[in-house]
Structures are given as structure tokens and as C-alpha cells.
């Protein structure tokens, strides 16, 4: 993650994250279905190694705690609950993680152009990448900037965790994902020319719109 300011400008953010967690749990207590979905999602992050518990008692010199909440998606079988991490939550200095991160800009084709190419053909294929942001590692030196707090029940003790992968909700996440695609094309595109072509010009965020089927059957 590229920063515009030194992370040392980030003040205290843990207490706000704790207050937001307690507020979240009051909602989870009256919605047991949401509670179980949320708990399952936290466990998934841990089981997949996308997040790890922090056991150090003392706080690091620089850390940022992201409040979080859930958004139900009843129409989605694969992702019935999405967790939103609030990296824009201001801390005691008035700064937030997003306020010091460079967003990287736009490095992919405009959606309008991608859809125009797609609609020119009678047959098309659409697909998307599962857990795209969570497939990208964060450098270990920056993981303390991606901390959260969580507890297993409303009366349980609060534990601290840090993210090991790119977090949806950080301003640089879209750029990092697109830059990873470009790097993959540079590194391995010569081995997979059809995939390289699709990734280079037919992807928008985590979605693929493919239409060059004549290459597959010629």
C-alpha cells in the first residue's frame, strides 16, 4: 500500500473500533441468523489465513483499527454476508487509513468500452474472481494498519486481529488488484496468451466479459 503521509500521523483508533463492535453486537443479539453468518465469516478469514490473531500485549508504535459491520445479501448463495471494513473512520488526529493512502488511479479500460466490445458478438461469457481482494498478500510491515477487534459473544473478551490480505474498503484495493493482473500478464502472459488477452482488455474489477471464441475453436 502506497502512503501519502507517514503512518505515524495516525492517532488512537482502537477505542472507536471497540465502541462500534459493541454496537454491532447489540444488533447481532437480536438477529441470531446474522450473528451466525458473521461468526462464520470471521472463522473463514482465520481458517484461510487471511487474518490472524494478535497476541502481543503492548500496542505497536503505529497501528490502525478498522470498525466493521455486515451487509446481508439474501440473493447470493455464495456470499450471503459481506463484511464492510471502515478504513475511512477518523481517529483522534482526524486522519483515517484511507486519508493517507494513495488510491493509485484507474489503470483499466472504461466499463463502457468493455461492454461495447462484448455486445458486438452473438455469444459471450461472463465470470468473476472469487474473493479477489483476499487473494492478494499485504506486506508484513503494513499489517498493523489493518487491525480489527472481535469477540465471539456479546459478553466475551475482545481480541485483536490483523489482516494479511488486501481489504475491501481500503481506497487502494481496486488499484492493487488491477496492478496484480498486469503483473501476472507480464510474468506469465507468454505461457497463456488467450488468458493474457482477456485479462488485459476484458476485465472490469473482478468481472470478466469474454467474446473471442473464434480463437478457442480455430
Average pLDDT estimate for 85-113: 91
Q: Does the pLDDT of residue 187 top 70, yes or no? A: yes
The tens digit of pLDDT for each residue in 12-64 reads 999 999 999 999 999 999 999 999 999 999 999 999 999 999 998 778 889 99
Beta strands in the chain (DSSP E): 51-54, 68-72, 81-85, 125-128, 147-150, 159-163, 203-204, 207-210
Q: How far is CA 167 from CA 39, 40, 132, 170, 208, in A?
A: 18, 18, 10, 6, 21
Q: Does the pLDDT of residue 196 top 80, yes or no? A: yes
Residue 155 inside a domain? The answer is: yes
Residue 21 inside a domain? The answer is: yes
Residue 159 inside a domain? The answer is: yes
Q: Does the pLDDT of residue 212 top 60, yes or no? A: yes
> Which residues span the domain enclosing 144?
7-211
Residue 218 inside a domain? The answer is: no
Residue 77's CATH number: 3.10.10.10
Residue 44 inside a domain? The answer is: yes
In the chain, the number of structural domains is 1
Pick the range with the lowest mean pLDDT from 124-128, 143-147, 163-167.
124-128
The tens digit of pLDDT for each residue in 103-141 reads 988 888 888 888 888 887 777 788 888 889 999 999 999
Cell of 158: 475482545
Residue 202 inside a domain? The answer is: yes
Cell of 198: 482477456
pLDDT of 166 reads: 96
Residue 217 inside a domain? The answer is: no
Residue 48 inside a domain? The answer is: yes
Burial of 118 per CB tally in 10 Å (0-12, 13-18, 19+):
middle
- Please state, in angstroms and rounded to a whole number, the distance separating the CA atoms of residues 212 and 148: 43
Q: Does the pLDDT of residue 171 top 90, yes or no? A: yes
**80 or 215: which carries more pLDDT confidence?**
80
- Please state, in angstroms and rounded to a whole number, the distance separating the CA atoms of residues 138 and 88: 18
Q: How far is CA 7 from CA 98, 103, 144, in A?
A: 11, 15, 10
Chain centre distance of CA 98:
13
Burial of 51 per CB tally in 10 Å (0-12, 13-18, 19+):
buried
Q: Give yes or no for a contact between 187 and 72, defined as CB atoms under 8 angstroms apart.
A: no
pLDDT of 217 reads: 46
Q: Mean of the per-residue pLDDT values for the chain?
A: 89
pLDDT of 218 reads: 44
Q: Give yes or no for a contact between 66 and 146, defined as CB atoms under 8 angstroms apart.
A: yes
pLDDT of 214 reads: 58
Amino acid at each position: 500500500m502506497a502512503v501519502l503521509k507517514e503512518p505515524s500521523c495516525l492517532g488512537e483508533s482502537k477505542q472507536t473500533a471497540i465502541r462500534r463492535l459493541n454496537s454491532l453486537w447489540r444488533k447481532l443479539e437480536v438477529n441470531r441468523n446474522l450473528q451466525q453468518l458473521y461468526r462464520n465469516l470471521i472463522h473463514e478469514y482465520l481458517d484461510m489465513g487471511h487474518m490472524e490473531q494478535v497476541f502481543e500485549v503492548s500496542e505497536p508504535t503505529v497501528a490502525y483499527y478498522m470498525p466493521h459491520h455486515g451487509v446481508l445479501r439474501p440473493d447470493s448463495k455464495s456470499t450471503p454476508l459481506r463484511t464492510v471494513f471502515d478504513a475511512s473512520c477518523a481517529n483522534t488526529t482526524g486522519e483515517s487509513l484511507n486519508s493517507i493512502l494513495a488510491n493509485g488511479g484507474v489503470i483499466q479500460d472504461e466499463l463502457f468500452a468493455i461492454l461495447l466490445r462484448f455486445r458486438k458478438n452473438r455469444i459471450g461469457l461472463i465470470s468473476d474472481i472469487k474473493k479477489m481482494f483476499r487473494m492478494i498478500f499485504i506486506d508484513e510491515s503494513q499489517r498493523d494498519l489493518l487491525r480489527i477487534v472481535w469477540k465471539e459473544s456479546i459478553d466475551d473478551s475482545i481480541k485483536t486481529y490483523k489482516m494479511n490480505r488486501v481489504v475491501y474498503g481500503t481506497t487502494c484495493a481496486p488499484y492493487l488488484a488491477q496492478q496484480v493482473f498486469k503483473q501476472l500478464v507480464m510474468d506469465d502472459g507468454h505461457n497463456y496468451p488467450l488468458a493474457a488477452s482477456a485479462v488485459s482488455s476484458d476485465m472490469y474489477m473482478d468481472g470478466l466479459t469474454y467474446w473471442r471464441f473464434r480463437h478457442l475453436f480455430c
